[in-house]
Each structure stands twice: as C-alpha cells, then as structure tokens.
Amino acid sequence: MFQPLAAAVAALLLQGAASTPTPSDVFGAREGIEQASLSPDGTMFAFLAPAPGQGTALFVVPVDGSARPRPVLVANGDPDRLSTCNWASNARIVCSAFAVGQLDIGDLAYTSRYVGLDPDGKNSKVLYQDNHPFDRYGYALYGGDIIDWLPDQSGAVLMTQQFLPEYSTGTKLAQTDEGFGVVKFDTRSGRSDKVEPPRRDAREYISDGQGAVRIVGITIQSSGYDTNKTLYLYRKQGSREWETLSTADGGTREGFEPFGVNAKENAAYGLEKLGGRLAAFKVALDGSLTKTLLFAHPQVDVDDFVRIGRHGRIIGATFATDRRETHYFDPELEKLASSLARAIPNLPLIRFVDSSADESKLLIWAGSDTDPGRYYLFDRTRKELNELLATRPQLAGVQLASVKAVSYRAADGSSVPAYLTLPPGKETAKGLPAIVMPHGGPGARDEWGFDWLSQFFAHQGYAVLQPNFRGSTGYGDEWFARNGFQSWRTAIGDVADGGRWLVAQGIADPKKLAIFGWSYGGYAALQSAVTDPGLFKAIVAVAPVTDLESLKQEHLHWSDYAVVSAFVGDRAAEASPARNAEKIKAPVLMFHGTYDRNVSVAESRLMADRLKDAGVKSQLVTYDKLDHYLQNSAVRADMLSKSDEFLRASLGL
C-alpha cells in the first residue's frame, strides 16, 4: 500500500540525475527530503525537496501513495528558498521562506517571511503586517516565528512579528509601533490581530500551546548593544501581568532558560546548569516558582527537549553521549520508542517528527551511521509501521562506512572523544591516507550518524577522524573552556593531537595525513598548519575564519557586535592564520560562497593574498551568490571533486 509512495518519490528525486553519477555527485547531492510534516487528519504528507541550484520545492501527497507527488510551491533559490512547511489545518499549509542579499549599507543579510497556502498551492497569503514596506526606519528583515499552531482554531496561528515605525509618523495611516510583538494570523484570509503589543526590548515569546502567551524574553543591553543576557518574565494563568521568572546568560549558560510551557501542569520546561552541565528542569508558573529537576546526565549536557502533537507537548529531554539519546517524561511514549527500536533494529536513531491531531498516527524518522535515514508512518490504533520514503535515495546501493566512537589522549593527558570512519571493507587496514575533520561552531559538536562529508572521503579510501576537541559544546563547562576561539591553543592542540593519534595507531601514513574543515573547522585546519607546520601535508578549508579582528568587524553594524566581540576575544595577532601565513608549509585549498553572512568571503580572500605573499601554494574557489552552507548539489559535488583531486595530488596518492 505504501510502496507506491516510496517508489514515486525516489523516481521524482532521481529524475535528471546523471546515468552514471560520480561519487562526488551522489554524496554531494542535497538531502532528498529536507523537511516533512503530517496533516492533522494523518492522511496527507508534505515534504520539501531540492530544486535546481539552491531552489526548494514543496510536494504534497497522500500517505497511501494513491496519487503521485507534485510540486505545489517552488522557490528557485535566487534568492528565495523554503526552510519549513507545516500544516496549520487539513486545508492550509504554512511555509517559511528566506533569502540572503545585500543591503544598501553594503552588508549581507538574511530576510524571512511566512506564507500560507492551500495544499494545491492556491490562495497564497504572506503572513506579515506590512502597510508601507519602503517607508520605515530600519530594515524589516525578520519575518517572525510561529509560536502556537492553535489546533483548535483551524487555520489560525500565533506569530511573533517585528514592528518598525514609518517615516510618515504623525499621519493617520502611519505605523508607529516599534519592537517585537505577537500577532494572530488567519492563514487563509491573511487577516491579523495583535495579541501582544510590541516591545522594543523583547527578543522572544513562548506560548503554552493553548493560545496563551505565558513568557517573554527581554534583551539586556549594554552601551546600545545586545548582551548574551535575557530577562524572562512570565504570567500566571488568567493574568495579563508580567512577573520575573529568571535571568539567563546565553554565553555562559547560567540561569534558567525556558523552552516551553506545559499548560496542564502550569509549568515552564527549560535548561539550567547542575554541577557544570545543563540539566532539564520545570518551574511552576503559579507564583511559587518551585523548581523541579526532570533529568540530568552525569557526563554530558541535556541540550534540548522532544515535542509531539499539534500543541507542541514536551515529552522528553535529549542529549548526546556517543549517540543521541532521549529521556522520556511520558511513560507511554517511552514504551513506544522502545518498541519502535525493536521493530527497526538497524536504525537506532529514532525521532518523532510529527503527528496527527489526535496523535494516533505518528511520522517517524529513523537512521544510522550507514543509513542516511527513512521516514515511517506508525498507526498506533492498528499498530502498523510502514516505510514512506528514504531521505537520500541517491545513495541506494552505495556501500557506506561504519562510524566508531573512539577517544585519544591529548598532549596534557586529557581524553578527547571522537568518531572514526574507515573505508568500507578496510576496518582493520593500516597506513591509510587520513583526514582529521574538525567541526564548525565552535559552539557545536559532532555526533554519531550519517555525515555526507566523512562518508564521501571514506568511500574514496581515506580514514576520517572527527574530534570533539575542547571548546565543543555538550560536555559541560570544563570541556567548553572559554570557547574554541579564546581557548584556541587548547582546541587546536586537541585537533593536531588527533592527527598524531592516527599515526601512532598505525591507521594513517604520516606522509598522507591531511586536514579538512568548514567554518570554525576551516579556521582550525589553517591554524593547526600555523602551530604545527609539519603535521598535515594538505589543508582544505571551507568558509574559514582567517582573521579574528575581521570577524568582529563583520558584525559592526549589527546589535550582536558586543556579543561576537566578547566571544572571539582580543588575541587576533597570534590566533589568526591570515596574520601568520608565512608559517604554513603545506598546500592550501579554500572554498567560499560570496553571499556568506556567517563568515565573509573577504576572510578567504585575505588568506589567499597572505598565502601568495608568503609563497605558499594555494587556491581559492568562490561560488557566486551562495551562502555559508553551499546548498547547491552541483556546487557541493564540485567542491568534493576538487578536494579529492587536490588531496590525491598533495599526498601523492
């Protein structure tokens, strides 16, 4: 019954593919299903799939495969793209669209908007209060977020909204409100009503999933710039008065940070440190502010909450040890998750994606290190589990490499957690060409599962080590240190020690050891070549930070300038690879999109100039109008192909 859907979607996603695709083509292809959702009645399935270039298309199809999937909305990627599409009712879908472009001040910026449409793509409405879009003080870039799907009010949603005053202030038609508020939108008519008046100092609102806004986050500023600190205010049930809940610091993660509200329990669920690690708590919103520990892990941070249903009900807390895990608060769903794990034994990573309104039908994603993932529909009434489609049909039939959690000793004796991926069929091989692949962030960490970059290089015969160096998140205060920029010597030392470990274990040939990194990982790749010029014989850096002072200046015109400056620190001279290019001895290959808002392409251009002046063999490849993530299958394939060719030439393979 469900196989026609899987076959139809696979054929759809593979149409236009080369008859004999190269490894770069299949691994570089964007994820075939980028996001998916289930209609409230559980009969329809909506998903986002790549369109040519950076484009994205929304498809809607019956879950039983009784009709072929067809695109109902397409964003061509120049500049508009789609990021999420969810059901507001059985008759309305709401999609988030975004674009990146250049402002008249010269800076790049992301803009976003929500649009409502029928499942056949008709009757589209932009969900934004915008009387005179070109008559305002400032830029209305942010289109807001949906904070409540109002499932009992078919087709209506609660959204945050940015308000800016207009030049025509003083006239009867002028928009004079300013700040961040909440608006209720009818997604069919586009009509809206203000639910929360805008506040200039507000940065977020949290609803209880029942239509009541219970929490507001207030930005704490200093000298006109935002800080990492947020003052959270709450309302008692039935009240309109705000009272103090907590103050949280997004930099140090001190204080209680609310993530959601449980209306039935009249409590806020959130994260707060316990013994130097983030733990899950709930705080009563009845005036007592009674705090209850829900879950804490002795080795790692709790980093998020798991939700289900149209009301966004929080059912558990999630964390990553060697693998991503969930501690369930709901005994019934904990039992269900265990049953699903037994039903899908080879796909241990299981995630609840969406559900019907009555939660009788669940949309589930399951994956592993050697399977990029599959979507399933589980009917709880019939106890039936049916596979809907594969996330990456392009990789069907391709042997993927298993990923092993390992650890190695850093120079100071610390044990660094990492993931090792060896070429398929060569799990005991020695003397391989090898790549150390530090992650981006640095406020991030790698996890066990499928990774298109490491899998590509493993397929090409490389051993790949992904270290969670000190400065990575998820392991508590002591491991995070002062972050990967301010504690760069420790972070870069851990990365380099990963390369030494590969050689010491006999896994890597010391003459065939390279490093590949994206974003902060690109910074780590370049800076490791500064601190230890003889270790890595080739460096590949994608969208790298190369000069810390330049990184700070990129945020000069934005409210987060002080936050970024404090995060990066003041050690630009010794910590910036562009200022130490003469110390690099290995050849360098860099890639960068010209519309990168996260890290300006100027960083790579500066590095290329400095390397040229120092006589270091290097090349910079730029991709026009692409952002930090290079979300273009052809471009990613080109990057992989050029990287492999460069590494083979540099390592003498």
pLDDT at 86 over 80: yes
Please, where are the H alpha helices in 571-632? 572-575, 601-614
Q: Residue 546 falls within a domain, yes or no?
A: yes
pLDDT at 10 over 70: no
DSSP state for residue 374 in the 8-state scheme: E
- Write the CA distances from 343 to 43, 376, 489, 535, integer angstroms: 23, 11, 46, 46
In tens, the pLDDT along 428-441 reads 889 999 999 999 99
- Write the CA distances from 33 to 53, 196, 373, integer angstroms: 16, 36, 10
User: Tell me, what's the pLDDT at 132?
Assistant: 44
In tens, the pLDDT along 367-389 reads 999 999 999 999 999 999 999 98
The three-class DSSP label of residue 410 is coil
Instruction: Give the DSSP per-residue string, 135-158.
Output: SBSS-------EEE--TTSTTEEE
Give the separation between CA 124 and CA 386, rounded to whole angstroms.
32
User: Tell me, what's the pLDDT at 131?
Assistant: 46
Domain count, the chain: 1
Give the separation between CA 42 and CA 90, rounded to whole angstroms.
9
Backbone angles phi, psi at 402, to 5 degrees: -75, 150
Beta bridge partners of 367: 349
Q: What angle do CA 519, 524, 529 make, to 5 degrees?
A: 135
Domain of residue 473, CATH code: 3.40.50.1820
Instruction: Give the DSSP per-residue string, 552-572.
Output: HHTTTTSTTHHHHHHHH-S-H
Predicted TM-score of the model (pTM): 0.94
Least confident of 191-195, 240-244, 579-583, 612-616: 191-195
The three-class DSSP label of residue 381 is coil
Average the pLDDT over 534-552 and give the result: 95
If one compares 93 and 309, the residue with the highest pLDDT of the two is 93
Q: Residue 44 falls within a domain, yes or no?
A: no
The owner of tokens 């015109």 is 557
Which two structure tokens, joined as six digits, stand for 598? 């996260």
The model's confidence at residue 13, banded by pLDDT at 50, 70 and 90, is: low
In tens, the pLDDT along 242-279 reads 999 999 999 899 999 999 999 999 999 999 999 999 99
Which residues have a Cβ under 8 Å from the Cβ of 629 and sit 6 or more positions away? none
User: Tell me, what's the pLDDT at 558?
Assistant: 79
* Residue 61 amino acid letter: V
Q: Residue 605 falls within a domain, yes or no?
A: yes
In tens, the pLDDT along 330-369 reads 999 999 999 999 999 899 999 999 999 999 999 999 999 9
pLDDT at 540 over 50: yes
Q: Residue 451 falls within a domain, yes or no?
A: yes
User: Tell me, what's the pLDDT at 620?
Assistant: 98
Reply yes or no: is the peptide bond before residue 442 cis, omega within 30 of 0. yes
User: Tell me, what's the pLDDT at 162?
Assistant: 86
Q: Note down the domain range covering 473.
A: 403-651
Average pLDDT over all residues of the chain: 92
User: Tell me, what's the pLDDT at 592?
Assistant: 98
User: Tell me, what's the pLDDT at 495?
Assistant: 98
Q: Residue 426 falls within a domain, yes or no?
A: yes
Average the pLDDT over 130-152 and give the result: 72
Average the pLDDT over 309-318 and give the result: 94
Q: Residue 508 falls within a domain, yes or no?
A: yes
pLDDT at 130 over 80: no
Q: Residue 590 falls within a domain, yes or no?
A: yes
User: Tell me, what's the pLDDT at 505?
Assistant: 97
Burial grade of 430 (CB within 10 A; 0-12, 13-18, 19 or more): exposed
User: Tell me, what's the pLDDT at 1?
Assistant: 45
Is residue 485 within a helix (H) or strand (E), and if so which, with residue range? Answer: helix 483-486
User: Tell me, what's the pLDDT at 3?
Assistant: 57
The three-class DSSP label of residue 305 is strand
In tens, the pLDDT along 182-222 reads 999 999 998 999 999 999 999 999 999 999 999 999 999 88
